[in-house]
Each structure stands twice: as C-alpha cells, then as structure tokens.
Chain A
C-alpha cells in the first residue's frame, strides 16, 4: 500500500448561509491517527460526517482508497456500495453509544451483527469472535447475552468499539469517544483505544475538544475555528509550539495538555 487512504480536497459544507466547514483539504495515510480539535461550533462534527459519508458536502471531494478498486470518490459511489464500505471497511464510533448500538439486542448480537454483514454465517464462529472481542474491550464474557440497557456508560462505549472493530476496519471515525464519561472511566477507555489502534494499525480520525485526549491518541492534529482549518501538524509540535493565535489561546486555556 503506497498511497493515502483518504484524500480530501476543497471540502465545504454550508447550512444555508451558515458555514459548517470550509475548504478543508488533507491526506490521511494508512495507520495514521488524526485528531480534530477546536471550540464548540467550529465544524468538527460537520467535517467528520462529511468524511464518513453521512453528510453530503456542498462542494469538494472525499476520495477513499478501496481495497478492490483503488481510489474512488465516496459520494460518486452507488448507495449500496457506500453502505457496504461503511459496514465493513470503516468503523464509526458515536459520542453517544446509544446511537451506535442496537439497544434491543444482546451485547453478543451487537458484535456478531457486523460479522454477519461481511458474510459470516457459522453461528459458533460468530459467537466465539464476539466473545473474544468482549474480552478485548474488557467486558466480562458472561455478559454476552445481556442487553446493552443493563450496561454502564463506559461499558456501552467499549461495546460500541468492539462492534466497530470486529470486522477489522481500516479506517475508524470517532466523535468525542470519551465525552460524557467520568474521568476515571475516560482514562481506562483512552488506554484501551490507544492500545487497539496501535495493535491493529488502524487509521482513525478522532474529533475531540480535549487536548489531553488528542495528545494521547493522535499522531497529528488539525485545529478548526469557525469552520476553517487554522493549523495542522504533528500533535506534540502543534501543542508545544502552537503558531496560530487561536491555537495558542486553546493551548493556554488548559493546564498541561
């Protein structure tokens, strides 16, 4: 694999006259983790949704290097093909795990369902993999038949991660994956995410407003303000030697990111 996994060029999304995000361009390479940071309303979620085929851009291109046919604009693909890509090659981790899980089926089924989407049919095999993934995300395997309704917030987030990673995606999109969790639960989840991303060599785009999360997870950062990218670079360089006035403000407003 020699080229970028994702190539984004001149991506703009408007909501009527209001700017969601404007003129964003970058390349993401296999195994790279990019963090998107910026204040509330700066366009992080808008951008992430455009990148992950959930929100059509007003202008610009999002080109993904597909396994079989090489680089293709995701908005030029047929709808079924795009759906398949999202279910198999990609993972999408929502801030609220209830948006990414099926609350009415068991934990095991939440994980197994994704395997079936890529053609797994053997029940024993699916169950064994679900069991293995529950362990990986530190959920006791005896909870495999329980409904997610009975899980804590941290467990739900870990279950959502297992559901997303079981198909070995190449690219994972995460919107505030540790938002809404207690600090101690966050630390454990971060630790887990950091290990999984490294071990699996995943590429990921992580939206967060927490610079400490960005420092731990991301190789490189993109700083957004009012829909525009104001600074990019290696994570520790952007945080330790910020150049743009807005990045300096962001970094100086927190204790030791």
Chain B
C-alpha cells in the first residue's frame, strides 16, 4: 500500500542563518494491507517528519512515496496539490498529535466531515460520527459544540474519531494515545485492531510501550 524509496529530508532554517537540520537520508519502507508498522526511535529522530511526508504535509528533498490509490500508484512527493487532496479524501487518513480545530464547526461535524467528503449523506455521516464519539466517551452534550474549548484529551479523541471515521485504506497515527487515560487508550487499541482486521495499512508512532506492543505487527527503527 505504501512504498518509500530513497527518501531524504533536511530542514533549512533560512530565518536562522540557513541552519540545516538533516532528518533522514535514503529512507526505505514498505507497508502492506493489514499491517501496523510502528516508527520507533529517540525524540528528534524524524518519526513525525516521516509521517508528515507520507501525508504530503512535508516536502522531501529527494526520493519517492508511492501510495496505492484505487487502481493507481501515486507518488505523493511529486503529485499536484489536487491529486494529494484526492488521495487524502479517498485513501489516506491521518491522526495528528493535536487537533487543528476549524472555528465554529461542531465536534460531530468535524468527525463527519471526511465521510461527507466521500459523498455520504449528512445523516448517515453524523450517525457514524456519533458512534465513534460515543465509543471514545465524548459526552453527547459536547457533540454540538466546537472543539476549540475542549480539554486536550477530549480534542485528541475527536481527532481520533475523525481519523477513523472514513475507514481509509491507509491510516497514519502520530502518538494517538499520548494524552489519553487507560480506558480511552484501550478503545484506541480496539479501533486499531479492527482497522487491521479490515485490511487497513497503518503506520504510527506510539510513545506508550504497552500500546505499541498491543498494536504493531512490525517495528521500523529510526536512528537519531
């Protein structure tokens, strides 16, 4: 589902005298359907950067990221913006470490939005969104509120629900359980297990050893 070839990334900070921060060079990785690959390595080793490159949010300097998109193979590193957006809509889900709330949009619609983008009618999309929010223990009285005022853990659970809503064939997870308590962590472990069973290809960063051991089928080591 994903094949990363000779991927390199160096951040250049022009506003700070052109300092270069090499993150990785010639990185290789491949992920099949039904796998959950855990990116593992010290802080600063480039785990989030790699995930962001896979999502098209970060632009590598060299190499390719081939993503199975329907019947096509798309190189995210070279694709036009509208192609990347279509890959995100139909193929690629992403749970970032923090929710970027859209002002004035209620939690239920934040979660339903990826389904709406796939053409699902509003009622069906909201029903699925409600199921996920309930599983992640977001009280129903919060569903109609915009998440901007939610606690960190509540925002993260909205973010997770949004990531899982559309059953994308590929799902990227950046420390999805970081700010969650034990019960909610277990729900996330269950959601990941269900996605794997359904054939989703997952790549994630899991800080928590217990979570990583429970969900990953393989570890991809990143050196600092």
Contacts and interface: CB of A to CB of B under 8 A. Distances in A.
Interface of A: 29, 32, 187-188, 190-191, 216, 219-220, 233-237, 240-241, 243-245, 248-249, 252
Interface of B: 11-15, 52, 56-59, 81-82, 84-85, 102-105
B81 A233 contact: yes
A232 to B, nearest CB: 8
A88 B52 CA distance: 41
Nearest to B102: A216
A241 B85 contact: no
Contact of A234 (B12, B84, B102): B84
A240 B85 contact: no
A27 B120 CA distance: 30
B15 A248 contact: yes
B85 A234 contact: yes
Given A241-B52, A248-B13, A187 B104 contact: yes
A241 B81 contact: no
Given A237-B58, A248-B15, A219 B52 contact: no
A249 B15 contact: yes
Contacts of B104: 187-188, 191
Contacts of B14: 244-245, 248-249
A190 B82 CA distance: 22
A234 B80 CA distance: 8
Contacts of B84: 234
A219 B82 contact: yes
B15 A252 contact: yes
Contact of A233 (B12, B59, B102): B59
Contacts of A216: 102-103
Contacts of B52: 240-241
A248 B14 CA distance: 7
A219 B83 CA distance: 11
A189 to B, nearest CB: 11
A106 to B, nearest CB: 30
Contact of B58 (A32, A187, A188, A241): A241
A187 to B, nearest CB: 5
Contacts of B105: 191
B109 to A, nearest CB: 11
Contacts of A191: 103-105
Contacts of A243: 12, 59
Contacts of A236: 57
Nearest to B61: A243
A237 B15 contact: no
Contacts of B56: 234, 237
Contacts of B102: 216
Contacts of A235: 81
Given A191-B103, A235-B81, A236-B57, 12 more contacts: A29-B82, A188-B104, A191-B104, A220-B81, A233-B81, A234-B84, A241-B11, A241-B59, A245-B14, A245-B15, A249-B14, A249-B15
